[in-house]
Amino acid sequence: MDLTLNEEEQAIRDWVRTFVEREIMPLEPEVLRRERAGEAGLPPEELRALQLKARRSGFWGVLTPQEYGGMGLGAVMTALVECELGRSFVPFKFGGYADNILYDANEHQRETYLLPTIAGERLSCFAITEPGAGSDAKAIRTSAYLDGDAWVINGEKTFITGGNTADFCMVFAVTDKQKRANGGVTCFLVDRDQGWTSSHIDTMGEWGPASLTFDNVRVPKSAVLGEVGHGFDLAMRWIGQGRYLLPARALGACERMVEMAMDHARTRTTFGHPIAERQAIQWMIADSAVEIEALRWLVLSAAWQVDQGSDSRHAQSMAKLYGGIKANEIVDKMLQVHGGMGYTRELPLERWYRELRLLRIYEGTDEIQRRTISRNLLEGHASVRGTL
């Protein structure tokens, strides 16, 4: 496994690093101010302006295939890009992206949904989670039935990222109650103006998910994405598209928090000496550095397997599990190094403290990752000896 970057790859990583430092980090005080006032993240026009600024330097559609105008970067490079973006809590991502399952769209759907989404003219959301069906996606109850030449959708979705701003959603509904997940779930592309509504869910962090309601929402037969009854396969492909990218972003946050703590420890003096000379502080920094390095290799190993076309689900689950646990431990230790100042909202540590807690829950809880990892090992699909 050779992860040496060539000159072009180094240039990409360095450009993103510079962009984050010059364009994104200076926005942090304003984002904190907005969040205290109940306004999440950046105003849409500012986010769009940043994305277009990056596009002028060629950064558009990091994961989008080149035939659709994207960069088409591999998994390892995308993980490195996410790591750099993770060094700031400002909710920024490069433009030109569309959900992977939208590429299954037919020609009409590509023109209506896929291409406008890549261009940034439309906003989507992925809607499968329900009040009684989170980790157990097979338990979804939202239903759809044929009524003449239209499907009628009824049900509720919850904790939907982007659900308050999306103008269309990819919603999963049971179309055959006998088969359910085994050929009885279908994915529909549904515009907001076709009748579904959303409401904000208040959370301890700034995630801002939505609850979606479908009350006899009628859509034409052409709204089916893929094939009737094959929605669950699409859902699993969406969920498994890049779990390694979540801990990759947390990795960047951890790097910056440790750097902040080291700067603070060098200048904060107690009893006549910098706290950097205190063994308790040194050990927190040392342990965090080791955990960061371990996480880095778990993430890059999973990404490398994706690039090789291997089945990387086991590696991704390990990176997701370890990343969520260690990111939460590291932010706690780095806040402790800062003492009372770390607990204030003057520094971004308390903000990260709340945000990183989500990593252990969404897109597969710690418990689900442990279940996946242990099942793979016990059933012989993976080995504790690794893949080398």
Neighbouring CB atoms inside 10 A of 387's CB total 14
CATH superfamily of 124-238: Butyryl-CoA Dehydrogenase, subunit A, domain 2 (2.40.110.10)
User: May I ask the CATH architecture of the domain 7-97?
Assistant: Orthogonal Bundle (1.10)
Percent of the chain with pLDDT over 70: 99
Is 259 in the active site?
Answer: no
The alpha carbon dihedral of 224, 225, 230, 232 has a sign of: negative
Burial class (CB in 10 A: 0-12, 13-18, 19+), 181: middle
3-state secondary structure of 84: helix
Only one residue has tokens 């499968």, namely 128
Mean pLDDT of the chain: 92
Given this model, what pLDDT does residue 386 score?
78
Q: Which range has highest mean pLDDT (176-185, 231-240, 252-261)? A: 252-261
Mean pLDDT of 146-169: 94
388 has a pLDDT exceeding 70: no
CATH superfamily of 242-378: Butyryl-CoA Dehydrogenase, subunit A, domain 3 (1.20.140.10)
Cβ-Cβ contacts under 8 Å for 109 (sequence gap 6 or more):
102, 189, 222, 225
Give per-residue pLDDT as tens, 94-132.
999 999 999 999 999 999 999 999 999 999 999 999 998
Least Cα distance to 56 among 88, 99, 95 occurs for 95
Considering the candidates 84, 130, 206, 363, report the single residue annotated as catalytic: 363
**Residue 191: CA atoms inside 13 Å, Cβ hemisphere, count?**
9
Strands 197-200 and 143-147 come out as unpaired
Lowest mean pLDDT among 6-10, 112-116, 330-334, 373-377: 6-10
Domain ranges of the chain: 7-97, 124-238, 242-378
Mean pLDDT of 136-157: 92
Domains 124-238 and 242-378 share a fold: no
Cβ-Cβ contacts under 8 Å for 178 (sequence gap 6 or more):
184
**In the numeric block, which tokens belong to residue 186?**
């279908």
Give per-residue pLDDT as tens, 27-78.
999 998 888 887 878 888 999 999 999 999 999 999 999 999 999 999 999 9
Query: Rounded CA gap, 106 and 274, in Å?
Result: 63
